[in-house]
Amino acid sequence: MTVELREARLIFPLGETQHPQLQFILGCIRLGLSANFNGYTEFSGTGSDGEEVEPVVIFDVAVPNDTASAFTLRRLALIICNGLDQDATYLRMPDGTVELVSRDTAHPNGQFKEAM
């Protein structure tokens, strides 16, 4: 049986100074993408929120377009937000929709608002 895969993307800014937990969080994301989706592509670039241009880290990953993949991607984006004190992490889902995942996106019990 062939599973159709689609591309998903996580993007987050590095900020002006390197966060002390950056390497640890990058390791967690790399491990999470490898364990759940069998690999990823990581590269750097520049991005802007409309106010300033700053360096960003980008992860591309091929995933099934299903609920389990969406949940895993949101959890990884939340790890980035919490671990690096980010306002939000850019997440392009495998169906092409874009979400800005933030600490406000999840309830204290860890479930995402739209899943409740």
Determine the pLDDT at residue 10. 97
Determine the pLDDT at residue 106. 59
Determine the pLDDT at residue 8. 97
One pLDDT digit (tens) per residue for the chain, 116 residues: 788 999 999 999 887 667 788 999 999 999 999 999 999 999 999 998 788 898 999 999 999 999 999 999 999 999 999 888 888 899 999 999 999 998 887 544 445 544 43
Domains for the chain: give ranges and CATH numbers.
5-107 (3.30.70.120)
Torsions phi, psi of 47, nearest 5?
A: -145, 170
Classify residue 94 by its DSSP letter. Answer: T
- Comparing CA positions, the residue from 41, 37, 113 lying closest to residue 73 is 37
